[in-house]
Amino acid sequence: MGVLNVTPDSFSDGGCWYDADRAVAHGQQLIADGADLLDVGGQSSRPGARPVPAAEEARRVIPVIERLAAQTSVPISIDTCRASVARQALDAGAQIINDISALRADPAMVDVAVAAAVPVVLMHMRGTPLTMQQQTDYGDLIDTIRRFFDARCAWAVQRGIARERMVLDPGIGFAKQPERDNQRIIDALPRLAGCGCPLLVGPSRKTFIARLTGNETDALDDGTAAAIALAVDRGAHLVRVHNVRRMRRVVAVARSIAYL
């Protein structure tokens, strides 16, 4: 899954693809580099990020999705917590909803997902991007995430979302302590795979990697490659990355070893 942030303030590439023409060109490059999915977002979810109005979020992403959907058959995911933005994105050609709130932020989101019958990514997070790093104390982190997944899946099924349309994301970097929690999640993916849905893992260029490698892009991508390889080995079905060309090679080698 290639990341396409149409924002001025995302943690890794804020402002790089804020212009619609540049965003579309970057999306095309991600596809050329081998992305199987594109994840388009117009609201930064970095720690401390404040929400933008729904109209502004839609203004950023809808033209980009419309143009990319007309040019490619690669599925497009809309990264949003808002039902109104998701609905417009699906009308524009998106085929997946990636909701970091796991359908909790907007009560109408589940209705949009059910009506469209599209895959939905449910992510573990406490609080919001603005408050999440103040809520990082856990007993058993992995058990907490697993119980969260079980509860959200059951809730979604009761409201009409088929289990086979659900993808689970443990939320690397979201309400997690960068000193240890993100590493624990990757190591414990086999315990989370028991939930019965595909796992999406997104360690790309996150803070825990920067603390180990430094903030230079090449160093971040080296660290991301290690995290991605280990995630694949431990059962990740999808990985969300910024550098598709490089990480696709990493995944190819990791899969060849992990699935002998």
Catalytic residues: 206, 240
> Pick from 124, 136, 129: which is nearest to 47 by CA?
129
In degrees, rounded to 5, the angle at the alpha carbon of residue 65 between the alpha carbons of residues 61 and 66 is 120
State how far the Cα of 193 lies from the Cα of 174, in Å rounded to an integer.
19
- For the chain, helix, strand, coil in percent to 5 are 50, 10, 40
The distance between the two most distant Cα atoms of the chain, rounded to a whole number of Å, is 49
Residue 252 buriedness (CB in 10 A; 0-12 / 13-18 / 19+): exposed
Rg for the chain (alpha carbons), in Å?
A: 17
Give the angle subtended at the CA of 10 by the CAs of 103 and 101, to the nearest 5°: 10
Instruction: Tell me the H-state helices in 130-206.
Output: 141-158, 181-187, 189-193
In whole angstroms, give the CA distance from residue 42 to residue 26: 15
Please list, in sequence order, all residues whose beta carbon lies within 8 angstroms of the beta carbon of residue 145, skipping any fewer than 6 positions away.
124, 170, 171, 185, 192
In the chain the first and final C-alpha atoms are separated, in Å, by: 24
Sheet with strand 96-99: strands edge to edge: 2-5, 38-41, 76-79, 96-99, 120-123, 166-169
